[in-house]
Amino acid sequence: MKGSASAAVTVVNAFATGKGVAIGIDMWTSARVKVTSGGIEGKILVRGKEVKDYRLVRAVVGLLRELTGGDFGIRFEITSEIPVGKGLKSSSAAANALTEALVKALKLDLEPLQVVRLGVEAAKRAGVTLTGAFDDACASYFGGLCITDNTKNELLGRREVEGETVVLMPGESLMTESLRGLDFSVLRPYVEEAFRLALAGEWRKAAVINGLIYGTFLGHDTKPFRVAMSMGAVPGLSGKGPAVFAITDEPERLAEAWEPFGEVEIRKLR
């Protein structure tokens, strides 16, 4: 059985408040699963390179074993075009895709939000998320702009969005687990304001405010923001970074201007 989910970019990061906003983009992870009599074996390929970290796979299987009471194993293959450690929701996409595929393989009758919540719980158990990343998981699975309360795993709102985004992926990576112990509560008053803007439909303003706040706090280079804003684009920091994205009417022009900062791709919002 197969499952799939996409990358997403951040409008409001939930680290400081537990509430977040994210938008799905057209960059995909797919999973193929076959249920076996025992054991977990398979392969993870990210942009053509094999990854040996199976924590998330083991967590998804463990959770579904608990849910069904079964003692099954799986043979799996996960292929992803979402780079790891850039803030583009690679873990949420993998959790969604694998959970969906395994739910199908086990012939379980679950609602889509149940599938997403299972993937979020698996990501927590695997230690690849700080907040549960329910906002990221919803945007990855459903697409569109998703507004969530991650403390309650509630989807507060969703709207369709169209257009393209330019995504900048600097060479360095930043793993979520490395941020444990950081006190993001000092950002709360500013991030709450960004969240209010997003609720009011001003998600572009929210993305800029959120990106500058978190980008400065985490020590990311703000030059890509300056370049994008000088060209009339709407930039944001995706997740913990270092990936930056921007909404613009001239994606090719901005992509060229961003080339000195790292790998650049133009992707559709979904």
Q: Which residues are annotated as a binding site for ATP?
A: 83-93
Residues contributing to the annotated binding site: 83-93
Residue 76 CB contacts under 8 Å (≥ 6 apart), including other chains:
31, 32, 33, 34, 40, 41, 42, 43, 57, 98, 101
β-pair partners for 244 = 168, 237
10 Å Cβ neighbour count for 47? Answer: 11
Element (H, E) at 236: strand 234-237
The SS3 call for residue 175 is coil
d(CA 182, CA 38): 40
For the chain, how far is it from start to end, CA to CA, in angstroms?
24
Distance CA 122, CA 129 (A): 10
Does the CA dihedral 268-9-47-123 come out positive or negative? Answer: negative
Phi and psi of 84, rounded to 5°?
A: -85, 140
Residues 6+ apart with CB under 8 A from 178: none
The closest of 120, 188, 125, 139 to 27, measured between CA atoms, is 139
